Amino acid sequence: MLEIKNLHAEIEADGREILRGLDLTVKAGEVHAIMGPNGAGKSTLSHVLAGKPGYKVTDGSATLDGVDILDMDPAMRAATGVFLAFQYPVEIPGVGNMTFLKAALNSQRKARGEGEISTPDFMRLVRTEAGKLKITQDMLKRPVNVGFSGGEKKRNEILQMAILQPKLCILDETDSGLDIDALKVVSEGVNALRSPDRAFVVITHYQRLLDHIRPDVVHVLSKGRIVKTGGPELALELEAKGYADFVDEAA
Amino acid sequence: MEILAPTERRRTRAETDLETAFSSFVETYSGDVVDRAGAFARFSTAGLPHRRVEAYHFTDLRSMLASAPVPAAPTSRSAGGADLFVGLGAARAVFVDGFFRADLSDLSGLGDGVAVTTIAAGLAANDPALAALGGRVSADPAVERDPLVALASAFYGDGLIVRVAAGAVAARPLEIRHLSSGASVSAFVRHAVVVGEGASIEVIESHESPDGVEIHAHTLTELTLAAGAKAVWLDRQREGDQAARFSTLAVDLGKRAAFDHSVVTLGAKLARTQIFARLGEAADLSTRGATLVKGRSHADATLVVTHAEPHAVSRELYKSAVDGEAVSVFQGRIVVEKKAQGTDGRMGAHAVLLSDRAEAKAKPELEIFADDVACAHGATVAEIDETLKFYLMSRGIPAAETDKLLIRAFLGEVTDAIGSEGAREAIEAEIDGWIDARGDRT
């Protein structure tokens, strides 16, 4: 599903190279965890895949089901099936959560040549998915993320994921700032979305999240490259030993 | 010893036009009760204001007005325009080129306590009550000195006189619609609205003209709210792309009077909206503005809010979205006089720039002579926030749509608070239309 080959990317402002020849293949139905020390390039990878401005891809490719996504703007990538659950979801005063969700869903449908969803169908969809994530009516009525706690923001990210039904879900440190109860709700939301035709890339610093979202494959990212790949046991090994061994291996 | 004789300042073409116009205009009104010559003298001594006049520093009329079209005469020509508020069931007074049109108006149903007459009728009858309109506009001398006020006072030929009796509540809103016949003229309208003790009224004012016609549209409105009186006022302006609009509202709030005022500016090549408010004891003023300018338009909102008595509250919030090479100007001054203890004033001016060449200028000021007051002001100028834009786009919303959502959200703080509930939706739709017309630019 996701095929990244020799990806090089730098920060546009200062030309600092962050991703240095990254290769990654994620098949449909799989959950891949990407772990690594601070500064390894984990968040940059998620930003580059989602199309955040401020990065320049200097070499390599990233395709989703064979389609090059790097030339697309972020909206087109989303319509193609890329979804990034942000580490720090932003607050958008003045844009109602429901208005936002509907605009997002209909924009994607339109880009794919599908018709708009009817208002009753949309309301039903939101009510069902919000209920699963313990998102209240009040949160739906408020402007996007405004006045939401850290946990509420992350739940709102998963709600968007559930409604937009992307092919590829990238979770950028979704566990940061979550207490154990919130972590459970978020993880259950993610697990409910696991399916044979959807893939997940779970970026995390800690093994804790992987107790709840069980990965099929674990990668260690260091200095902009994948330096080690293994099964779920690799995450436990990292937790026990720290990153130092793997980072040295790369050097 | 020889000294240099002061040379007469060279008049601009627009000033000469106005001089010429006045000398023939005043003939048609010879012998009326209004001191037009006095008003015109107040204008012509200094002429059109320019950037060295502080109140016009950002809106230099001397350089911006190349000429002045001839004063309008009553016309029977029809006029178009989007009939935005037709569904509201308001009574309606329609003016074309500044003159009341009974055939287009319907002033019925306002209720027993509301009397509406026209200035033209009063002038024709030489009603001495109009003499008062010739001179004092407001207790604030700055109003008296204002050149636009002086011009409107010299040239006005029509307008409405609205009196709401003490305790009366207008049974439906009053829409005052200013249209253009399409002729290139200078139109001068003067309204006087007096709301008696404990009485209330809602006014929806609208200004429209077609694109491509050079008109100068002047409106001078005096609103007096007696003790405990209430007024809700919406002023919506969508003049044509070659029009200049000059609006002045002088409002006097009596003890515990409340005034909820919104101004929405969507058109005109040059627009200057002036609000002079004077607050009595425990009066309550809310004024807010949404300005959307594009092309090479210039829109100026200038407020002077004077807290003259203790314990009054004022809120001013003006927001503008500026596209193309347009300029938006906000000047706001809160004056707290010495006896106005316990004043609570808050003013904000915020602009979002939608293009590299758009400009926004904001000058909020506080002048405080009392010692027990809570006053604050703030001003910001920013571009569309890229972080927010990326977030919305990452969910599949195309760039042009994200801009629309974010501009609408930015102005929402103003439009959501418009006191005329019925008109709010129409205004929001009109703003959406303006944003849509920007096209699919990113």
Residues from chain A that touch B388, judged by Cβ atoms under 8 A, are 90, 92
Closest of B209, B208, B204 to residue B176, by C-alpha: B204
* Domain layout of chain B by residue ranges: 90-383, 386-442
Angle (CA) B159-B161-B163 rounded to 5° is 160
Q: Are A75 and B399 in contact, with CB atoms under 8 Å apart?
A: yes
Taking only residues 1 to 40 of chain A, the set having a beta carbon closer than 8 angstroms to any beta carbon of chain B reads: none
Least confident of A183-192, B92-101, B108-117: A183-192
Residue with tokens 């429901």: A98
Distance CA B45, CA B252 (A): 28
Least confident of A58-72, B23-37, B345-359: B23-37
CB contact under 8 Å between B409 and A95, yes or no, is yes
pLDDT digits (tens, 9 = 90+) for A133-183: 989 999 999 999 999 998 899 999 999 999 999 999 999 998 888 888 889
How many CB atoms lie under 10 A from the CB of residue A113? 6
In this predicted structure, the answer to whether residue B442 has a pLDDT above a threshold of 50 is: no
Residues from chain B that touch A105, judged by Cβ atoms under 8 A, are 396
Distance CA B323, CA B358 (A): 6
Which run of H or E residues covers position B296? none
CB contact under 8 Å between A99 and B399, yes or no, is no
Distance CA B235, CA B193 (A): 14
Closest of B47, B76, B48, B44 to residue B61, by C-alpha: B48
Tokens representing A2 are 């996701």
> Which residue is closest to B410 within chain A, CA to CA?
A94
Taking only residues 191 to 250 of chain A, the set having a beta carbon closer than 8 angstroms to any beta carbon of chain B reads: none
> Which residue is closest to B384 within chain A, CA to CA?
A92
How many CB atoms lie under 10 A from the CB of residue B278? 24
- Beta bridge partners of residue B235, listed in sequence order: B205, B263
In this predicted structure, the answer to whether residue B440 has a pLDDT above a threshold of 60 is: no
Q: Which of A50, A79, A92 sits opposite B388 (nearest CB)?
A: A92
Taking only residues 377 to 416 of chain B, the set having a beta carbon closer than 8 angstroms to any beta carbon of chain A reads: 386-388, 390-399, 401-402, 405-406, 408-410, 412-413
Query: Can you give the length of chain B in residues?
Result: 442
pLDDT attached to residue B131 = 65
Tokens representing A223 are 């200095």
- Beta bridge partners of residue B275, listed in sequence order: B249, B303
Q: What is the DSSP letter of A16?
A: -
- Percentage of chain B modeled with pLDDT above 70: 95
- Label residue B318 left, alpha or beta by phi (over 0 means left) and psi (-120 to 50 means alpha): beta
Residues from chain A that touch B435, judged by Cβ atoms under 8 A, are none
Distance CA B337, CA B371 (A): 10
CB contact under 8 Å between B394 and A74, yes or no, is yes
Closest of B244, B295, B297 to residue B17, by C-alpha: B244
Size of interface A-B (CB pairs under 8 A): 79
Distance CA B274, CA B221 (A): 10
pLDDT attached to residue A62 = 97
Tokens representing B116 are 């509406």
Distance CA A171, CA A157 (A): 9
In this predicted structure, the answer to whether residue B320 has a pLDDT above a threshold of 60 is: yes
Nearest C-alpha of chain A: how many angstroms from B207?
28
Residues from chain B that touch A160, judged by Cβ atoms under 8 A, are 395
**How far is the CA of A87 from the CAs of A90, A93, B368, B416, in angstroms?**
9, 19, 46, 32
Residue B370: strand, helix, or coil: coil
Strand A225-230 and strand A217-222: pairing? antiparallel
Residue A208 banded pLDDT, cuts 50, 70, 90: confident
Residue A102 banded pLDDT, cuts 50, 70, 90: very high
Residue B104: strand, helix, or coil: helix
| B144 against A54, higher pLDDT | A54
> Which of B317, B394, B407 to mutate against chain A (most A CBs within 10 Å)?
B394
In this predicted structure, the answer to whether residue B2 has a pLDDT above a threshold of 70 is: no
Nearest C-alpha of chain B: how many angstroms from A147?
16
CA B212 remoteness from chain centre: 22
CB contact under 8 Å between A92 and B398, yes or no, is no
Residue B7 banded pLDDT, cuts 50, 70, 90: low
Q: Which of B388, B396, B406 sits opposite A111 (nearest CB)?
A: B396
CB contact under 8 Å between A90 and B412, yes or no, is no
Identity of residue A181 = D
Q: Is A67 on the interface with B (CB under 8 A)?
A: no
> Which residue is closest to A46 within chain B, CA to CA?
B394
Q: Which of A53, A94, A104 sits opposite B396 (nearest CB)?
A: A104
Q: Are A70 and A61 in contact, with CB atoms under 8 Å apart?
A: yes
Residue with tokens 């095929």: A3
Q: What is the DSSP letter of B52?
A: T
In this predicted structure, the answer to whether residue A251 has a pLDDT above a threshold of 50 is: no
Residues sharing a CB contact under 8 Å with residue B210, sequence separation 6 or more, in sequence order: B80, B81, B180, B182, B240
Taking only residues 133 to 172 of chain A, the set having a beta carbon closer than 8 angstroms to any beta carbon of chain B reads: 143, 160, 164
Distance CA B289, CA B321 (A): 11
Half-sphere exposure for A233 (CA within 13 Å, toward CB): 1
CA B48 remoteness from chain centre: 18
Nearest C-alpha of chain B: how many angstroms from A165?
11
Strand B174-179 and strand B200-208: pairing? parallel
Q: Are B292 and B266 in contact, with CB atoms under 8 Å apart?
A: yes
How many CB atoms lie under 10 A from the CB of residue A208? 14
Tokens representing B108 are 């019925």
Tokens representing B393 are 């786009």
Sheet with B359-368, side-by-side order of all strands: B114-118, B160-164, B186-195, B216-225, B244-253, B270-279, B298-307, B327-336, B359-368
Strand A2-11 and strand A55-64: pairing? antiparallel
Q: Are B143 and B60 in contact, with CB atoms under 8 Å apart?
A: no
Residue with tokens 């009939």: B83
The answer to whether the Cα torsion of A200, A147, A137, A98 is positive or negative is negative
pLDDT attached to residue B341 = 97
- Beta bridge partners of residue B208, listed in sequence order: B238
pLDDT attached to residue B306 = 97
In this predicted structure, the answer to whether residue B137 has a pLDDT above a threshold of 70 is: no
Least confident of A17-31, B65-79, B97-111, B354-368: B65-79
**How far is the CA of B212 from the CAs of B14, B209, B240, in angstroms?**
19, 9, 7
> Which residue is closest to A86 within chain B, CA to CA?
B391
Distance CA A11, CA A20 (A): 12
pLDDT digits (tens, 9 = 90+) for B153-179: 999 999 999 999 999 999 999 999 999
- Label residue B310 left, alpha or beta by phi (over 0 means left) and psi (-120 to 50 means alpha): beta
Q: Which of A73, A90, A100 sits opposite B387 (nearest CB)?
A: A90
Nearest C-alpha of chain B: how many angstroms from A244?
34
Nearest C-alpha of chain A: how many angstroms from B348?
17
- What percent helix, strand, coil does chain A show, rounded to 5? 40, 30, 30
- Burial of B429: CB neighbours in 10 Å, binned 0-12, 13-18, 19+: exposed
Which run of H or E residues covers position A111? helix A97-111
Which run of H or E residues covers position B269? none
Q: Are B272 and B242 in contact, with CB atoms under 8 Å apart?
A: no
In this predicted structure, the answer to whether residue A37 has a pLDDT above a threshold of 90 is: no
Q: What is the mean pLDDT of residues B50-61?
A: 95
CB contact under 8 Å between A107 and B410, yes or no, is no
The answer to whether the Cα torsion of A138, A139, A142, A148 is positive or negative is positive
CB contact under 8 Å between B397 and A79, yes or no, is no
Distance CA A210, CA A242 (A): 16
Residue with tokens 């509250």: B313
Identity of residue A216 = D
The per-residue pLDDT of chain A, averaged, comes to: 93
CB contact under 8 Å between A94 and B408, yes or no, is yes
Closest of A230, A220, A241, A232 to residue A37, by C-alpha: A220
- Percentage of chain B modeled with pLDDT above 90: 81
Residues sharing a CB contact under 8 Å with residue B404, sequence separation 6 or more, in sequence order: B432, B435, B436
How many CB atoms lie under 10 A from the CB of residue B214? 17
pLDDT digits (tens, 9 = 90+) for B265-298: 998 999 999 999 999 999 999 999 999 999 999 9
Q: What is the DSSP letter of B108?
A: T
Closest of B37, B18, B45 to residue B135, by C-alpha: B37
pLDDT attached to residue B6 = 56
